Structure 1
């Protein structure tokens, strides 16, 4: 019996992605196979309940790499909540919502959480929940998603 594997696209250690539902484009994202969840930088966020549903309201710079960018307010229904340990070993609750991400000129659904990443080198982190089954990672490469169509 012959097993046919679906071909996976190759992504590099750093990629440039679009989050069209958030109005964010050309965001630098670090690909991190050690992280389970994908994370986007936000200035601040709040969780609230309305009509029996939980929502997250995020305050995100229009372009996270630009210190002078206008901060936009976005609200999403919370898909789920989970407790994760940060890279520093601290447990925190992450509020996960669903949105679209564009790589290789293709839209994918992504489960995304938010936190203050201002002290990190990149405003976004792509974790293995998103990468798994879709992509292979070549850590010697960067910015492959914008160069290929």
Structure 2
């Protein structure tokens, strides 16, 4: 998943830094142009340099005792991706790098290779290491990411302005409006009945509520839930207080608990509206979808 965004980062000095960078996940399908191979690459902000699985290293004309004395020479090596596809390459050694990790310190040869998304690769310094025992044969470090990418380890999904969303408690799927302008989710609900209810809505918090909901296809269901709080909603028509309940909401098979306010939406095109309290931390919205 790769998506361009404009963003504003708040720094300690409270200055606003604006830029245009791409969001990248914690792992991505990437390629090394010279190999013609694709790799499931680990995106690692903890690594200074990008690293490629390499074995059977052979220096043209023979190797010097000290690795740094081989800088400038041509190096032959074999690389292999996660599917077992191999390629023999040659590249000039541009420098050596010493890497410290849990196994200690080791020195690696570095070469220049074109790395990135297919047909969008760009040249970067890559250290060569036998990664046969590792899950990822290509590791993308800060030298490839810097200035161009933001890493989103949550790997948020992208959703369009309208999406099929299910509510497990209702057994129904709704053609739902995704609304980043709304704080809360809102569900069509009529014939609300509070068990031992009182006129003061605040006093009904914690009580059981039953209501009928209906999707765009005219399918309806009676739902029982606990009132968890009330919500004051302001809109063009004025303000109103609504009951809020917790329901299990999401794309089919990916539902999770979230608070939903209840309103008669019979005159509205969409019987269910998703707001920021469901989207936050899980989804980005692309209105062009």
Compute the TM-score of the two structures, normalised by the length of structure 2: 0.42
Gaps of 5+ in 1: 145-149
In structure 2, distance between residues paired with 1:126 and 1:48: 27
Q: Is the 8 A contact 2:72 2:94 kept in 1?
A: no
Give every structure 1 segment of 4 or more consecutive aligned residues whose post-TM-superposition deviation is greater than 6 Å: none
In structure 1, distance between residues paired with 2:111 and 2:133: 23
In structure 2, distance between residues paired with 1:104 and 1:60: 17
2:108 match: secondary structure: strand
Higher relative contact order, structure no. (Cα contacts within 8 Å, ≥ 6 residues apart): 1
Corresponding residue to 1:65 among 63, 82, 101: 82
Please show how residues 123-134 of structure 1 align to structure 2 within 5 Å.
123-134=137-148
Q: Which residue of 2 aligns with 1:78?
A: 93
1:35 match: secondary structure: coil
How far is the alpha carbon of 1:42 from its aligned partner? 1.9
Gaps of 5+ in 2: 1-14, 63-70, 159-289
User: Whose Rg is larger?
Assistant: 2
In structure 1, distance between residues paired with 2:47 and 2:61: 28
In structure 1, distance between residues paired with 2:87 and 2:61: 20
Please show how residues 96-135 of structure 1 align to structure 2 within 5 Å.
96-103=110-117, 105-135=119-149
Q: Is the 8 A contact 2:94 2:112 kept in 1?
A: yes
How far is the alpha carbon of 1:106 from its aligned partner? 2.2
How far is the alpha carbon of 1:124 from its aligned partner? 0.8
Q: 1:93 to 1:127 in 2, by over 3 A?
A: same
Corresponding residue to 2:33 among 14, 20, 30: 20
What do residues 34-60 of structure 1 show as CA deviations (whole Å, max 9, x unaligned)? 11111111233133458x931221112
Q: Is the 8 A contact 1:14 1:28 kept in 2?
A: yes
In structure 2, distance between residues paired with 1:65 and 1:42: 13
Q: 1:120 to 1:3 in 2, by over 3 A?
A: same
Q: Is the 8 A contact 1:44 1:116 kept in 2?
A: no
CA RMSD of aligned residues (A): 2.6
